[in-house]
Structure formats: C-alpha cells, structure tokens
Structure 1
Amino acid sequence: MTDHTDSFTSSVKPIPIVLALFILYFAYTSIALYLRRRQYIRDHGCEEPPWLASKDPILFTDIIRENLRAGKERKTLETFRNRFERTGTTFRQKLFGRPMVSTCDPENVKTILSVRFKEFCLGKPRMNSLGPLFGAGIFTTDGEPWAHSRTMIRPNFTRDQVADITAFERHVQKLIKAIPKDGSTVDLQTLFFRLTIDSATEFLFGTSVGSLDAPMPGVEGEETQDFAWAFTYGQDACIKRLRMGSLAKIVRSDPLDLKARKIVHEFTDKFVDDAVEYQQTHPDEEKGKHEGQYVFLHELAKSTTDRRRLRDELLNVLLAGRDTTASLLSNMFFMIAQKPEIWNKLRDEIAFLDGRPPTYEELRNLKYLKYCMNESLRLHPVVPGNFRQALHDTTLPTGGGPTRTSPIFITAGTIVNYSVFTMQRRTDIYGPDAESFVPERWEKLRPGWEYLPFNGGPRICLGQQYALTEAGYTSVRLLQAFAACESRDAKGGVWEEGLTLTCCSGNGTKVALRAGKEA
C-alpha cells in the first residue's frame, strides 16, 4: 500500500517557509521605512502638529458624526472653523484610519498649491465623486492629462474673449425683466444661476439653454428633460458622493442622478458632434468663430476630435463658469441688501454712465464695485475648502511643536485639507472685524496667499477674469435698473451656508428691488 503521509507532509512544508520569508520581508521593509522617515524628520526639523481632540482617537467616529450633523444643520464651515480655533491653524486627525492634516495657514497652503505642487495630487476622491458627470477634465485629473487639458483651454480665455461684454447684455436684460419692480420679494440667487448657465452655454456651445425664458423646471415630483435642471441635480449628486467617500460605492445609485447624467451628456454630445463636423468642413475659419460668433467649443475642436474628451472639457469649464459667477453674485447681493449705504455708494460710482452699459475698461476702473466683489469672495469664498493628497513623503513648513511653528512631516497618502473660509476670516490677518462685510478695507489691503478666491499656483482658475467681468457687468446693470435693494431674508440677514461644489447662501438671496430712474 502506498504511504500518502510522506507526500502530504512534503507538500505542506514550503508554506510556512514562504510565510516566514514574507513576514521577514515585511518586517525588514517596515523597519527600513521607519528608519528612513525618522532620519528625514530629523534632517528637516519636523515636529508633530496637535491632534484634533476626539473621544475615539483611533477611528474618529465622533468627528464623523459631528460632520454629518453639521452638514444637515448647514454648519459645516462653522464647525471646521471652530476646530481650528480650539486646536490651532494646523492639526492632525484620522478618517476611518486614514491620516489627515487640516490647515488654514497661508504658508502651508502656498506650499501645497505652489512650492511643492508636484508632490501633491487631487487623488481618487475627486475623480470618484465628480467623474461620473464631468469625466476626465481639467478639474478631475492630475499630471500629464491635467497639463494637456490646461494647454487646450488656456487660449480660450484671452483678453479678447473676456473683454467682449456685449455678449452678456441680452441675458442680463432677461434677468432684469424677471425681477418684479413693485418691491415684491424675489430670490436673486435662483435668477443668478439661471443667468450664468444661459450665458455660459452660449459662450461654450454657441447656443443658450434659455433657462431665463421659462419657469424654473425640476419641481419636486415632475419629470423634466431640461439641461439646466439636470446639470444642477448632477452636481448635487457629486457632492453627496464626495461626502460619502468610499461608502458611495456600496450605496444604491440614485435613478434621478442617472437620468440627469444622461440628459447632460446627450445634450453636450449633440453640440460636440456638430462642432467636430463643422471644423472638418471649415478648417480655415477664423479663431473660434462660428457664423460670426465666438464659440469656445469650436476653438477647442481644433485641438482634438476626440468627442469624449471634448465633452469632458466642456462640462468641466461649464462647472466653473456657471457656478463661480452665480455664487459670487448671490453672496454679494445678500450682503449689500442689508446695507443701503453700500447700494447707494455703488450707484454713485456708476452715475457717470447715465444708464448706458459700461465698456470693459470702464468696468475695470470701478474701484468700489471691485472692493465689494473682493470682500464677498473673502467672506464667502466660492470654493471655501479643498484638499490634496501627498504623492510621497514630504513636509509642510509650519504647524508643529509646542510653538506651532516647526515644519511638520507628511507621510505619503496623507490627505491635506485646507480651509479658505477659515483662513480668510482670521482676525490676526484681517483684523477684529474680519467677520464683517467691509468693502472699504480693500482700499489699503494687499493680501498674498491669505486671500485665495480662485485657487493659486499652477492650478489657478483660468476663467477668473471672465467670472469677475460677468459679475461686475451684471451688478452695474442691476444698479442702474433699481434705485433700492432691501433684504427680505427669513433669518434676518444671518448668512447660512449652501454648500455643494461651490458655496452660496443656504436660504437664497431674497430681496425686494425698486425700479430707479434709469430703468
């Protein structure tokens, strides 16, 4: 009889050896990494930043619950700011065991976005949350794909395109027409978002979606095929995925989100197909011109015929072009509606126009209007916070040790959050009235990295002048059309966050406007 015992024994002997070798290798690499990091920390003089106080210092589940509660109560920004006030301008924490560092220090932000730009990336969270709607574009990619996107898009935001303010006039007049002249309450925020999607789609596609021409679609319970509704709903779904993180993968898909994505993609694809075909039949046409009109898409189609790439880039630019301007306008008018003296001062500044539209140069020279926009962007930044992920071991220049001024060590994979909202309200930077809307502070204020309305470094917003020009032009025309603006905010003028991919008033911008002599 064959003895199977020996063959069985011989077959299992290598397993413990392989396991032992694996354990030894793991131990060796772990010790080597520890020693290498310890030396790196010594060489750079790094010290630990404070830890965020938590009842659960391992998983920080109490902090997660606090984040969820703050989101429901529209107090996320306030909650984060309170943590900085309790702990310091830079602190360490964990999220489901993953290391995280939070900062509102200008030097650290400068390092992340500029000095050590190549050592940080957006990471998977951005693509996982925004990718389903926006694809691989300038706001969702890193490295070479991002650099190529920026190279494609940059020429389309030249001074000639930005200075063509006549393109805004038709849409602004529709906005003014939609506002009651008898002092009835109106939510300007809703109208601003309609305005900017109309102007942005005309600039990008060559055709406006015309949301100001009809009642706002997307009423609860209705089924709609409207692009404006779908684009807004799709963004809301993006921010939900971002907040849920990895848990979003196991949650059942929202049928309305899928519907919204389909509407947005099919609408955009139609224009992309037309643009590619047009460029193939009109290869020598003047830069970006389509039947005499500048069209962003037609210029972009000269760079590539990849339809998916064109759609993704268009939607990425639409996100910035539409939401930045609308959020700036809604936040600014929310604040100036509570201060009649500011409204009157702005009207005095534009009185020389005698009711006519301003030229681009005249618009740029309206200093007090610029102060108001700067102050709005300071107090209520359109993107109040962001994050980056460390590609490998690196450092931030300050925040560690007993004095909170030593460099801090950042391990590879660490998420670094930076709060623009908190940084731009620091009393040690902006004074004891940092939480007040005071446009006059900009007469002498010349901030650096402590003021970051449009990001900074290589990823600074390409469309910032376009957004400021549209916001300024819209403001001038409204100031000319209405003699007075009165707040009708249900909370008595107390601003609450409306936090999605951008940030505006959670209660809208409810005001009463009365027609002026120039209307």
Structure 2
Amino acid sequence: MLQPISLTLAALILILVVKHIRYVRTNPLRKFNGPKSGGFLFGNIKDTLLTGYAQEWMKKYGRVFGYAGILGETRFFIADTKAIAHILHQATVYPKPDGVRYNLSQIVGPGVLVVEGEQHKRQRKVMNPAFGNAYIKELTPAFLEKSIQLRDIWAQECISTVDGIYRTDGIEWMAKLTLDIIGSTGFNYSFNSLGSKVESDELQRALGVMMSPNAAMINIVKGNFPLLRLVPTPQEKVMDQARKTMNSIGTGLFAESKEFLRASGEKDNWRSRDMSSLLLRANTSSSIPENQRMTDDEVLAQVPTFFVAGHETTATTMAWTFFALTQHPDIQRKLREELLSLGTEDPSLDELNSLPYLDAVVREVLRLHSPVPFTLRVATKDDILPLRTPVTDAEGNVHDSIPIRKGDMIDIPLLAMNTDPAIWGEDALEFKPERWEKTPAEVSALPGVWGNIMSFLGGARACIGYRFSLAETKSIIYVLLRSFEFELAIPHDDLVSRASIVQRPYLRSDPGAGAKLPILIRPVVNV
C-alpha cells in the first residue's frame, strides 16, 4: 500500500520540479542581467532586508531585471514610473502575495492592510470618514497636547542634569509619545505611556517583538512555506503572547467605544470623536447598506492596524527627522526660526500647513527615509507592463514593455524611487528641503498619493492614514523643535538602517539592542 503512495508523491514532486524549471527557464527576465542568487533556498531575499539594496541594484542592473526569490523563483524588479503606476492602479490584478499577507497578518491581523478585493473596498469605504481632512483638523489639539507633555518632561530632565543636556534614546520617547497619541485619538483612552503605565509598557514590548527583524525573517519563511506554519518556534511563542497582549488591550478599547454608542443612542449627534468611535458610527450609518457593513470581527481586526500603522510608522518617521536635523544644524536653526515666527503654542492644522519650510522638511524626511522601503505584488493574470523608459536586454534588444505572467512576483522599490538621481537629480541622496521649492519635472511622473513621493504608495492601496500621519508629525516637530536643540550622541558611522516591516536606525556597535537613536537634547536659549 505504501509503495503506490510513495510513487504518487514522487511523481507529483517531479511534476512540480519540472514545472518550476520550465517556469524559470522561460522567464523573459532571463535576458536581463540581475544580481547573482545567494542560493536556491532563499535566493536574494536576505539582501532585500538591507536598506539600500535597491539603489545598489539599480546602479548595476538598471530599472528592470529579475532576482532570485524563494526556491529559485524569479522576482521582477520594476523601477519604472509608468509600470509602477500601471500596477498600483490595478489593485485587483496586482494584490499583495499570499506570503506578504501572511507576514502582515501576524502583526496586524486581517485588517484593511491585509485583506484584498471587495473585502478591502468595503472596509476602506467604512473607514474613510475617520481619516478625512475635516476630522484630522479636529485631532490636531490632541497631537499638540501630548507633544507639550513630552516637552515638559524633557525640560525637567535637562534641569536635573549638571550641564543641562539630556542624553536619551529618541526612538523610545517617540514610541511612547505616538502610543499616547493613538490611544487618545484612536480610542479616547489614556495609555499614559509618557508616565510609564504598566499597560503601555506591555504594549510597547509586544510591538517591539512583532516588529523585530527576527520576527520578520520567521514570517517571511513561513509565509513562503505554508507547511512550516504548523511548526512552532521559540520566537513565535513570544510573538503569540505579544499578539494576545495587543489584541486584549485593543479589544477592550473597542468594546468600550461600542458600549458608549449603545448606551448613548445618539448616532447622529455622537459626542465621542476618537477614530474607533467614528468607525463604529460609520459602520452603523444608514448610508452604508447592511451587506456592505463590517462584521464585529472585521471591526476588531482594525485595532492592531490602528496601533501599528498609527503608531510605529510615525515614531519611525520622527526618529529619522531627529537624525536628519542633527546632521544639518543649519536646517535645524532655519526650521526653528520659522516655527517660532508663528507665535502660538496651539496652532491649527491650517496654520501648521501654512509653514513652507516645515512642509519641505517633512517631505524631505519621508522622501529620504521612507518608513516602508519596498512593497511586493503578484500578478493574478497575464499582462503587459508599459515602460516610460525603454530598456535593453543582454542580447541588445530594446523593450518598451515587459510581459507579465500570472503568478509573477513584482518588487516595487519605494525608497529607491524616492532617491533615484534620474528623477530627483544628482543630489538625490542629500537631505535638502530647499529642493521642494522647485522640483524637477520628472518628479511629477511618480504615482504617489502625496507629494509625488512613494512613501504612502498610490492608487486604491494608498495609505488611508497619510493625512493623520502628516498632521501628527508636523505637530510633534512644531512643539519640540521650538524648545530644544538636538545633536546625535554617537558617531554618525555607528548608525545603520535595518528593515523589517519598516526601516529603523540601529547601532552598528550593538545591533542586538534593538532600534536605537541616541540623541542629546538641550533647551533653546531665549525662547
């Protein structure tokens, strides 16, 4: 009995191997030179976790080529603006691959960042009111209030030192600040992270575990080898506990919002203005047909999305903002002068948006330090990718389009597009806010949803919370930079960038310590 089964399995494996070899050998990208594979099992996957991989590859191999993925699969590297626009504006044809969705689901669950197709459209339609510009304006005072709380803590820390200079970790404080902000604006809840509440400490540890490079590597492997998802690892036990912590806290917060809605009975004159309340209100609105509303499970699935997307990415953006300003004291001074010229501690969002240099600095940070360095898509049918710039293969043939086959994986290098010298000029890798006074004409071809940069993506899968992130970032900068000067507390070359879901700064001298940004903070004189 066992022999026929063994022969059948062997035959199936042989068929799969032959199909795979045929797939690889008939791939049109074999005609283009690309990076040498690091091995059959993982190919060049480990390279893609290193920030800057895409820029180096583009220099060597151009804008269109293939590189090795899991088990020798070929991934398309596409750095052409027309091709990227084509992909992003056909979200149903080019969804996230299953492995990527698995990876994300281990962090944020089955929320709007993970689901695809009609389910994504339905969730996004319900969530849109909570991220509209009018509502974000109402949140600005909360952004400022929490930032002022941190300002006062830092001021006291400076006073307590002998030389008046406070040495600390910028990432740790930004994580605390943005967690308190998302607690207040997302759930009308005080985590009191700035006050070291135990509950917030647990959530911070949970998020730290889930966003670590080790966790990312485990999720990548299991995302691409589904059978391995059945095999537990020691790291996953820690991750499971982290998810339980985050889900427990988030579920309780959503339950409180739901109970408020039930008890108040004031659907049209609802008093609570946090995002979870707005989401619950929108989901019960008469404007949303019953069959298009989210289930309770779908609503709860947005909790970790709010935590991660509304907390982790802004904390990372602020860390890179501090880094950039410490490297350019002249820019730091110029920005501070503009912020002080406004003459108020509680500006409106319109007033913040009226500051051109603040806007330019935020744009430049997000351009040069995009929190998410790349994204992957998979073709669900055969297609033709149009190219803005024709490419020449190894045989000398010129191509103005690239054939795509169902199942092909595509790497869209967001950070590399943001820093491409052919688009931004020879100074593309320099931090230069003045470039936003007059950007090159080529920049307009980038299909980003904001500022012609790719950091928030574009098309139907563009970041739903980009307005929230921008308003929060500007508010934090406004409060803190008016009161303090910032300096890097370590040599510049000790800082490296590593990517998991987002790219964060690490110490070359102590990579095991996790994401770190040691900075010196001193009060501004005569403020």
- Pair 1:105-2:54 in alignment: no
| RMSD over aligned Cα atoms | 3.0
Residue 233 (structure 1) aligned to one of 209, 230, 241: 209
Q: Which amino acid aligns with 1:269?
A: T
Q: Which moved more, 1:400-409 or 1:98-107?
A: 400-409
TM-score, normalised relative to structure 1: 0.81
Q: Which amino acid aligns with 2:224?
A: S
1:257-276 maps to which residues of 2 (within 5 A)? 257-276=239-258
Structure 1 residues 82 and 504: CA distance shift in structure 2, 3 A: same
| Residues 159-213 of structure 1: per-residue CA shift (max 9 Å, x gap) | 2321121111231122223434222322212211111111012212110322111
Greater CA radius of gyration, 1 or 2?
1
- Pair 1:448-2:444 in alignment: yes
1:206-245 maps to which residues of 2 (within 5 A)? 206-214=188-196, 226-236=202-212, 239-244=216-221, 245=223
| Distance in 2 separating the partners of 1:178 and 1:420 | 36
| Distance in 2 separating the partners of 1:421 and 1:325 | 16
Structure 1 residues 135 and 515: CA distance shift in structure 2, 3 A: same
Structure 1 residues 287 and 489: CA distance shift in structure 2, 3 A: farther
| Residues 485-515 of structure 1: per-residue CA shift (max 9 Å, x gap) | 22223334x7521322122322433222221
Structure 1 residues 178 and 113: CA distance shift in structure 2, 3 A: same
Secondary structure in 2 matching 1:121? coil
1:498-509 maps to which residues of 2 (within 5 A)? 498-507=498-507, 508-509=516-517
Q: Which moved more, 1:336-345 or 1:299-308?
A: 299-308
Structure 1 residues 439 and 133: CA distance shift in structure 2, 3 A: closer
| Distance in 2 separating the partners of 1:273 and 1:53 | 50
Which residue of structure 2 aligns with residue 422 of structure 1?
416
Which residue of structure 2 aligns with residue 386 of structure 1?
375
1:285-434 maps to which residues of 2 (within 5 A)? 285-286=267-268, 289-290=271-272, 294-302=273-281, 303=283, 306-354=295-343, 356-398=345-387, 399=391, 401=393, 402=396, 405-434=399-428
Which residue of structure 1 aligns with residue 119 of structure 2?
145
- Pair 1:514-2:522 in alignment: yes
Which residue of structure 1 aligns with residue 513 of structure 2?
none
Aligned residues of 2:378 and 2:408 also touching (Cα < 8 A): yes
- Pair 1:488-2:479 in alignment: no
Q: Which amino acid aligns with 2:299?
A: L
Q: Which moved more, 1:235-244 or 1:314-323?
A: 235-244
Give the drift of 1:472. Answer: 0.6
Q: Which moved more, 1:504-513 or 1:467-476?
A: 504-513
| Distance in 1 separating the partners of 2:92 and 2:385 | 14
Q: Which amino acid aligns with 1:201?
A: G
Aligned residues of 2:106 and 2:219 also touching (Cα < 8 A): no
Which residue of structure 2 aligns with residue 3 of structure 1?
none
Aligned residues of 1:288 and 1:296 also touching (Cα < 8 A): no
Q: Which amino acid aligns with 1:146?
A: H
Give the drift of 1:409. Answer: 0.9
Give the drift of 1:226. Answer: 1.5
User: Can you give the 5+ residue segments of structure 1 that lack an aligned partner in the other structure?
Assistant: 1-14, 219-223
Aligned residues of 2:92 and 2:116 also touching (Cα < 8 A): no
Structure 1 residues 94 and 126: CA distance shift in structure 2, 3 A: same
Give the drift of 1:296. Answer: 1.4
Give the drift of 1:449. Answer: 4.4
Q: Which amino acid aligns with 1:235?
A: M
Runs of 4+ residues deviating >4 angstroms: 46-49, 59-62
| Residues 284-342 of structure 1: per-residue CA shift (max 9 Å, x gap) | 2446533xxx1211222231573321121222233211122212211121011121111
Which residue of structure 1 aligns with residue 474 of structure 2?
472
Give the drift of 1:469. Answer: 0.8
Structure 1 residues 412 and 366: CA distance shift in structure 2, 3 A: same
Q: Which amino acid aligns with 1:127?
A: R
Give the drift of 1:420. Answer: 1.2
Structure 1 residues 140 and 427: CA distance shift in structure 2, 3 A: same
1:120-159 maps to which residues of 2 (within 5 A)? 120-159=94-133
User: Can you give the 5+ residue segments of structure 2 that lack an aligned partner in the other structure?
Assistant: 159-163, 284-292, 447-452, 508-515
Aligned residues of 2:383 and 2:404 also touching (Cα < 8 A): yes
Secondary structure in 1 matching 2:520? strand
Secondary structure in 1 matching 2:52? helix
| Distance in 2 separating the partners of 1:123 and 1:183 | 48
Aligned residues of 1:193 and 1:323 also touching (Cα < 8 A): yes
TM-score, normalised relative to structure 2: 0.80
| Distance in 2 separating the partners of 1:242 and 1:105 | 29
Residue 52 (structure 2) aligned to one of 78, 82, 85: 78
Q: Which amino acid aligns with 2:384?
A: T
Residue 147 (structure 2) aligned to one of 172, 175, 178: 172
| Distance in 2 separating the partners of 1:345 and 1:437 | 14
Give the drift of 1:364. Answer: 0.3
| Distance in 1 separating the partners of 2:338 and 2:466 | 23
| Distance in 2 separating the partners of 1:154 and 1:518 | 43
Which residue of structure 1 aligns with residue 512 of structure 2?
none
| Residues 98-157 of structure 1: per-residue CA shift (max 9 Å, x gap) | 33101222222111101x333111131133112234221110011011101100110111
| Matched-pair identity in % | 21
| Distance in 2 separating the partners of 1:305 and 1:109 | 31
Aligned residues of 2:91 and 2:461 also touching (Cα < 8 A): no
Which residue of structure 2 aligns with residue 4 of structure 1?
none
Q: Which amino acid aligns with 2:352?
A: L
| Distance in 1 separating the partners of 2:131 and 2:240 | 32
Secondary structure in 1 matching 2:92? helix
Secondary structure in 2 matching 1:350? helix
